[in-house]
């Protein structure tokens, strides 16, 4: 398994070592010891799985303290564009966006520390996404930023007339007005 820096502190890409043989493939999707060696000591307590069709955009979402979540995202079926936005005030990359294609094929995973807003778009006919979280879901702590924020200008890699967005996500605030208690801790 290799760990690749993204240029944004607290955001890392993981590429597992895949063992192919005549039966198919095998890989360790998560190994606490190896993640620990990469400086990730988060204790994951909840796994979420969602299925979406082409053009779906979920996000941008985050929970705030004491339920602020680190997430480890991967794809079981299909391809997504996974997007993280650094919203930690004082961070050297505050307001910066990072996007990466995660797919069942490339088996890459994105680790996001608390303090990133997270979302994804579905680039394949369907996609099933699985992500580990280090805090439980807490509805009252949920906040977000609207996917088509004019300042962030995220390219979701789908035509905007094909975008499928929940009612809840369409009315999220813009980045400049979002609820944001996050401070960069280095």
Ligand X SMILES: Cc1cn([C@H]2C[C@H](O)[C@@H](COP(=O)(O)OP(=O)(O)O[C@H]3O[C@@H](C)C(=O)[C@@H](O)[C@H]3O)O2)c(=O)[nH]c1=O
Positions touching ligand X (CB under 6 A) are 48, 50, 58-59, 61, 118-120, 137, 166
Q: Are 38 and 16 in contact (CB under 8 A)?
A: no
Count of beta carbons in the 10 Å neighbourhood of residue 80: 28
Residue number with CB closer to ligand X (61 or 96): 61
CB 5, min distance to ligand X, A? 22
CB 169, min distance to ligand X, A? 7
Residue number with CB closer to ligand X (10 or 59): 59
CB 72, min distance to ligand X, A? 11
Give the phi and the psi of residue 160 in degrees, each rounded to 5. Answer: -65, -25
At residue 77, the 3 state secondary structure works out as strand
Q: Which residue is nearest to ligand X (CB)?
A: 137
Residue number with CB closer to ligand X (23 or 123): 123
Residues marked active site are found at: 61, 131
Instruction: Please give the structure tokens belonging to residue 166.
Output: 């929940």
Lookup result for tokens 């760990």: 3
Beta strands in the chain (DSSP E): 2-5, 11-15, 19-21, 24-26, 46-53, 57-63, 71-77, 79-86, 97-103, 109-112, 116-122, 126-133, 142-144
Q: Are 179 and 64 in contact (CB under 8 A)?
A: yes
CB 105, min distance to ligand X, A? 21
Residue number with CB closer to ligand X (34 or 173): 173
């Amino acid at each position: 398994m290799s760990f690749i820096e993204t240029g944004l502190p607290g955001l890392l890409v993981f590429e597992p070592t895949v063992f192919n043989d005549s039966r198919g493939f095998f890989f360790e999707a998560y190994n606490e010891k190896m993640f620990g060696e990469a400086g990730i000591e988060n204790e994951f307590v909840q796994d979420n799985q969602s299925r979406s069709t082409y053009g779906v955009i979920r996000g941008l979402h985050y929970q705030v303290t004491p339920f602020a979540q680190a997430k480890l995202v991967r794809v079981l079926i299909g391809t997504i564009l996974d997007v993280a936005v650094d919203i930690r005030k004082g961070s050297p990359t505050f307001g910066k966006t990072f996007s990466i294609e995660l797919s069942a094929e490339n088996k890459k995973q994105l680790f996001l520390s608390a303090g990133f807003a997270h979302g994804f778009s579905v680039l394949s006919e369907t996609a099933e996404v699985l992500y580990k979280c280090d805090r439980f879901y807490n509805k009252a702590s949920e906040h977000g930023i609207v996917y088509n924020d004019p300042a962030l200008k995220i390219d979701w890699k789908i035509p905007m007339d094909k975008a499928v967005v929940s009612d809840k996500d369409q009315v999220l605030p813009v980045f400049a007005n979002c609820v944001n208690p996050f401070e960069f801790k280095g």
